[in-house]
């Protein structure tokens, strides 16, 4: 069974204006096997990075947040301010390892939700439900 919350080989974007914070986050993600792309400016074009799995953004990343959201790429805002409504906010100061753990947890929850949406509904009697559209095709 795959490890849905594993960061091994995943590309993670870290967009933080402060290099020391970005480097601490990068080190923590790299310990989990993630590949890191660091950026000081939150350019919206960063949402087009190939194989981007998640992002950790600062509070000044509005346009990039919107682009990531539109593409369905999970992200968190790691910020001292709480002015954003469209992202999960992790308030500073929180250790980098805690940020990584939260990203793993959210990736796992998103993966479980995706699997549930794909799985056909099976009632307790064990017979799969057939939609009226499927019955018309038969």
pLDDT tens digit sequence for 55-65: 998 877 788 98
* Structure confidence by residue, pLDDT tens digits, 79-129: 877 655 545 777 778 888 888 888 887 766 666 666 676 655 544 554 444
pLDDT top residue among 66 and 108: 66
Local confidence band at 2 (pLDDT 50, 70, 90 cut-offs) = very low
Do 47 and 71 touch, CB atoms closer than 8 A? yes
> What is the dihedral sign for C-alpha 20, 25, 28, 29?
negative
Nearest Cα residue to 45 out of 66, 64, 17: 64
Task: Judge if pTM exceeds 0.85.
Answer: no
Among the four given CATH numbers 3.40.50.2300, 2.60.40.10, 3.40.630.30, 1.20.1260.10, the one describing domain 11-118: 3.40.50.2300
> What is the dihedral sign for C-alpha 40, 43, 44, 50?
negative
Report the C-alpha gap between 79 and 52 in whole angstroms. Answer: 21
Please enumerate in sequence order all residues whose Cβ is within 8 A of that of 35, keeping only pairs 6 or more positions apart, or say none: 9, 10, 11, 12
Nearest Cα residue to 53 out of 99, 115, 95, 111: 111
% of the chain at pLDDT higher than 70: 69
Strand pairing class (75-79; 52-57) = parallel
Q: Is the pLDDT of residue 30 over 80?
A: yes
Look at residue 127 in the predicted model and tell me its pLDDT. 46
Q: Is the pLDDT of residue 1 over 70?
A: no
């Amino acid at each position: 069974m795959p490890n849905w919350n594993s960061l091994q080989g995943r590309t993670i974007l870290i967009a933080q204006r402060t290099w020391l914070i970005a480097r601490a986050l990068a080190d923590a993600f790299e310990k989990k096997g993630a590949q890191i792309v660091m950026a000081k400016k939150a350019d919206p074009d960063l949402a087009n990075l190939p194989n981007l799995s998640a992002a950790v953004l600062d509070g000044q990343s509005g346009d990039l947040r919107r682009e990531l959201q539109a593409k369905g790429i999970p992200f968190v805002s790691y910020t001292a301010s709480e002015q954003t409504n469209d992202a999960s906010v992790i308030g500073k100061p929180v250790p980098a390892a805690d940020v990584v753990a939260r990203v793993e947890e959210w990736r796992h929850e998103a993966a479980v939700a995706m699997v549930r949406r794909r799985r056909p509904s099976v009632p307790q009697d064990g017979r799969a439900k057939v939609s009226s559209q499927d019955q018309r095709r038969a």
